[in-house]
Amino acid sequence: TSTTTPMNIVVVGHVDHGKSTLVGRLLHETGALPDGKVETLREVCERRGMPFEWAFVMDALQAERDQGITIDTARIRFRTQARPYVIIDAPGHKEFLKNMITGAASAEAALLVIDAAEGVREQSRRHGYLLHLLGLRQVAVAVNKMDLVNFDQARFEEVKAEIVDYLGSIGLSPTHVIPVAARSGANISTRAAETPWYTGPTVLAALDGFAPALPDTDLPLRFPIQDVYKFDHRRLIAGKIESGRLTVGDTLVFAPSGKSARVASLEHWGAGDVSDRADAGRSVAITLDEQIFVERGQIATHADTPPILSHTIAARLFWLGRNPLTVGARYRLKLATAEHTVEVAAIRRVIDVVDLGHHDGIEVGRNAVAEIELRTRAPVAHDSFVDNPRLGRFVLVEGHDIVGGGVIARAEGEQTGAT
Ligand code: GDP
């Protein structure tokens, strides 16, 4: 079956393990590169007496983008017979971790690249952990540079066992582990003669096997308010429906104020859609039947499925700050459209992402993960990440910098949506 809905994927892995090469190859083999691009680059390399690298294809695309030649930009696209893909983060991108954490890059699936000769390295583990932390469950592993180990099955099995073991210990089970040689194109889109012992799918077939993300329509309504406009005596309350569905006539409760009113009208932002119902993913503007106080940052929900309201948040945090996070420090917390000042109340434990050991900590260093507790003055409306990822994640900001991202833990004995 084929669809026109693109799937967002990320390509992760240790530096130099071949992410760019694999992406260059994927683009080439799916016909996504402009005609003559590869030939031109090969000629340039030959003239300069340097070996051709598939990674140059990515660099060339980036350069065109910087010059504004390619209009459809920041993301890399290709398509298979099954569906279009968007690689939402280019390998080697400096902002990669930040994009992953802020959800700017909300990927549905990931490809983890590991060098067959080097095996699992620090960033292989760190990225694997981050995928898991952010709730990504569809991960395929490409054991790359199989040519360097003579396409040896025993070596492949060794690397496979190592990564399956690590991912397994954080609760992630890869859909496939594929022996590939990105540079020559082995098992990328066509089966390689060098790996007769391998019976699984190629990289492309593995991607095509991923299930598309389900829209969050079946979760309780979460409608964070972005803006309130006055317009022809009407007050338009605008935002994006993060989960659930909203219908004219619904009684909405606004958190944290607890005030409620009924939806009098609903407009689909921009679109010429006049339906009186809207689902997760849509940006809408509504009016209410009563003049209650509503402002940016509040979250509209249905009365029977409220979010959690509390002054404390227990979270698993990925720290990116240059300076370590310490108990007592204050940051701005951004959750959906809300912003709060928070204080770090406790650091429960610091997790070593590489060996999965953990210890009590008084500070959290850059690129570390920790279980922490945050405290706010006013109650914060939120969900736990497992109940509703849309309202269960946040970022911490210091000055103008995003210094960390976290997912909210479920409190002991807590029920879905109830307080
Ligand atoms: P990245 O940092 O993960 O994006 O890695 P690159 O794609 O830049 O590749 C790093 C180096 O590994 C480059 O010199 C590539 O040519 C080389 N490389 C990538 N794939 C293969 C492969 O399948 N076989 C071999 N022998 N080298 C490869």
Q: Is the dihedral of CA 58, 61, 67, 73 positive or negative?
A: negative
12, 15, 16: which to mutate for ligand 1, most atoms within 8 A of CB?
A: 16
pLDDT for the residue 67: 60
| Mean pLDDT value of segment 148-158 | 98
Q: Largest Cα–Cα distance of the chain, in whole Å?
A: 74
Taking CA 386 as the corner, what is the angle to CA 99 and CA 298, rounded to the nearest 5 degrees? Answer: 70
Nearest residue CA, atom 18 of ligand 1? Answer: 18
Per-residue pLDDT band for 35 (boundaries 50, 70, 90) equals: confident
| Mean pLDDT value of segment 148-166 | 98
- Residue 202 near residue 189, CB atoms below 8 Å: yes
Length of the chain: 419
- Give distance in angstroms: CA of 183 to centre of ligand 1: 7
- At 411 the three-state DSSP class reads coil
Per-residue pLDDT band for 310 (boundaries 50, 70, 90) equals: very high
| Mean pLDDT value of segment 272-278 | 80
Nearest atom of ligand 1 to the alpha carbon of 181: 23
Nearest atom of ligand 1 to the alpha carbon of 17: 3
| Mean pLDDT value of segment 67-93 | 72
Nearest residue CA, atom 11 of ligand 1? Answer: 16
Give first-to-last CA distance, the chain, whole Å.
43
Nearest atom of ligand 1 to the alpha carbon of 182: 23
pLDDT for the residue 93: 63
pLDDT for the residue 92: 60
Choice among 215-219, 244-248, 393-397 with the minimum mean pLDDT: 215-219
216 phi and psi angles, rounded to 5 deg: -85, 35
- Alpha-helical segments (H) within 229-348: none
Per-residue pLDDT band for 417 (boundaries 50, 70, 90) equals: very low
Task: Name every residue whose Cβ is closer than 8 Å to that of residue 340 and which is 6 or more positions away in sequence.
Answer: 332, 333, 376, 377, 378, 380
| Mean pLDDT value of segment 411-416 | 52
- Residue 366 near residue 403, CB atoms below 8 Å: no
| Mean pLDDT value of segment 56-65 | 74
- Give distance in angstroms: CA of 18 to centre of ligand 1: 4
Give percent above pLDDT 70 in the chain: 91
Per-residue pLDDT band for 64 (boundaries 50, 70, 90) equals: low
Tracing tokens 């067959």 back to the chain, one arrives at: 116
- Give distance in angstroms: CA of 165 to centre of ligand 1: 24
Amino acid in the structure at residue 356:
L
User: What six digits make up the tokens of 18?
Assistant: 């071949």
Ligand 1 environment, Cβ below 6 A: 13, 15-21, 53, 55, 91-92, 144-145, 147-148, 181-183
Choice among 231-235, 296-300, 392-396 with the minimum mean pLDDT: 231-235
The distance of Cα 21 from the centroid of its chain, to the nearest Å, equals 22
User: 220-266: per-residue pLDDT in tens?
Assistant: 999 999 999 987 788 999 999 999 999 999 999 999 999 999 999 99
Amino acid in the structure at residue 29:
E
- Residue 193 near residue 179, CB atoms below 8 Å: no
Residue 73 reports pLDDT greater than 50: no
| Mean pLDDT value of segment 2-22 | 90
Residue 415 reports pLDDT greater than 50: no
pLDDT for the residue 5: 85
pTM: 0.85
Nearest atom of ligand 1 to the alpha carbon of 184: 23
Per-residue pLDDT band for 413 (boundaries 50, 70, 90) equals: very low
Choice among 183-192, 337-346, 358-367 with the minimum mean pLDDT: 358-367
Mean pLDDT of all residues belonging to the chain: 89
- Residue 374 near residue 344, CB atoms below 8 Å: yes
Nearest residue CA, atom 25 of ligand 1? Answer: 145
- Give distance in angstroms: CA of 20 to centre of ligand 1: 7
DSSP assignment of 74-103: SSEEEE-SS-EEEEEE-TT-TTHHHHHHHT
Residue 105 reports pLDDT greater than 80: no
280 phi and psi angles, rounded to 5 deg: -45, 140
- Alpha-helical segments (H) within 134-270: 153-169, 203-208
Asked if omega into 215 is within 30° of 0 (cis), the reply is: no
Give percent above pLDDT 90 in the chain: 67
- Give distance in angstroms: CA of 63 to centre of ligand 1: 20
- Give distance in angstroms: CA of 181 to centre of ligand 1: 9
- Give distance in angstroms: CA of 129 to centre of ligand 1: 23
Of 222, 339, 231, nearest in space to 282 by CA: 222
User: 162-176: per-residue pLDDT in tens?
Assistant: 999 999 999 999 999
41 phi and psi angles, rounded to 5 deg: -65, -40
| Mean pLDDT value of segment 99-113 | 80
- Give distance in angstroms: CA of 135 to centre of ligand 1: 28
Tracing tokens 């004219």 back to the chain, one arrives at: 248
Nearest atom of ligand 1 to the alpha carbon of 186: 23
- Give distance in angstroms: CA of 51 to centre of ligand 1: 12
d(CA 85, CA 79): 6
Tracing tokens 């669809």 back to the chain, one arrives at: 3
Taking CA 32 as the corner, what is the angle to CA 26 and CA 36, rounded to the nearest 5 degrees? Answer: 105
d(CA 402, CA 320): 8
Nearest atom of ligand 1 to the alpha carbon of 51: 16
